[in-house]
Amino acid sequence: MAADGAFARWVYSTGLRLAAPLYVGKLWWRGRHEPPYRSAWNERFATGGVGDGRSGRIWVHAVSLGETRASEPLLNALRRLAPERGLLLTHGTATGREAGAALLQPGDAQVWLPYDTPGAVRRFLRRHRPAVGVLMETEIWPNLLDAALEAGVPMVLANARLSERSFAKGQRLQALLRPAAASFSRVLAQTADDARRLEASGAPSPQVMGNLKFDVSPNPALVERGRAWRVAAGRPVVLAASTREGEEELLLAAWKRLDAPRPLLLLVPRHPQRFDAVAQMAAAAGLSVRRRSGWGETPPADAAGADVWLGDSIGEMPLYYAAADAALLGGSFAPLGGQNLIEAAACGCPLVMGPHTFNFAQAAEMSLAAGAALRAADMADGVAQAVALAFDPARAERVAAALAFSAQHRGAAERMARAIVELLPGVSAPAAR
């Protein structure tokens, strides 16, 4: 098995090295619309510069926007338990890096995670010399984990999740992934089902800790502004939250079939590079569109008469949930596994989910059982249920259920932070309060 693993990693590493020019080309291509992809690109290979010379930080890798938002309560808990350490944040996407920059404090650092080639990850670890590394959710990088093991850096998979679908795919690559999973010092799983699948994939003794997303508190200023937007809309609002490619066409077709009076549709695509295309799609469907990027803190006077408000901004999901009477969960109406549904509950927004929530299976079932969400068979059914919910005089009961559901499952950040701090040399976590 060891020989099989070494050969699989050699093949994997060779492929990554050969593809290096394509990585750079992709960065430049994406940078046309998202300039951060073109900044500090040498960090992707851990070349150039020498870092700031500080060692011993707690390193947390949150690849994208969702993981970065989820990491915030964990970062706060780590600061409380090990205030002298400082944090090193790494990311893989522009939205993740932008969100992470807002979380930095004096003594912290932020860089791109290098590509998973043997040389790049060894240079990264030599340059930053972290005391412990934390990978968020589903990030298992074979060369990075091997290099960390060689360098004596304990690694943690935090807020770990593994869907049944991903588990099945991983079994086909187990010669590569099993040794990587086995090298973690600790695996902190969201649910018992995640822990079971992770252990079957080679992870050592996963611990069930809950989901960090329950500990994320929505920005009060954004929530207040969202409620003001709801008043400005002058009618019920249905949010389509973090929609993915292929879902907007179904949504807009179902929306046009609605009888009058229709609610206002607040449409928020998940990926910024698709904002323009979705705006054009809505206009081509014969709907009048107002773009959030075109106004400041309050919608312009003519926005209330529009069919669609396009949420073409980053970091304002609490505002959008607070402005809505009901929301459709993007990524769940195509076979993509769904998105974070906990943020909607924290904002008191009842949710309608499509049939595909395998990435968040337990949270979806718990929200249904708590009365915080409804399940739809397809997009047309989802639109019908969301519109009915938005006009429902008894909607307040769903709002209360969503808030109660969110509050009930807090506490994962403190548990995970203690498990991480215990791996730091010479540090012991204070007794739980």
Which residues form the catalytic set? 67
Whose tokens are 């090295």? That residue is 17
Residues 6+ apart with CB under 8 A from 281: 248, 249, 252
The Cα 266–Cα 308 span in angstroms is 6
Which amino acid is present at 43? E
How many Cβ atoms from other residues are within 10 Å of residue 316's Cβ? Answer: 18
Q: Which residues of 414-426 are buried (b: 16+ CB within 10 A; e: fewer)?
A: bbbbbbbbebbee
Backbone φ and ψ of 182, nearest 5°: -70, -20
How many Cβ atoms from other residues are within 10 Å of residue 378's Cβ? Answer: 12
The secondary element (H helix, E strand) that includes residue 414 is helix 412-421
Enter the DSSP assignment of 242. Answer: E
Long-range contacts of 394-401 (CB under 8 A, 24+ apart): 395/325, 395/326, 395/350, 397/371, 398/350, 398/371, 398/372, 399/348, 399/349, 399/350, 400/348, 401/350, 401/370, 401/371, 401/372
How many Cβ atoms from other residues are within 10 Å of residue 393's Cβ? Answer: 5
Which among 71, 143, 67, 59 is positioned nearest to 109, based on CA atoms? 59
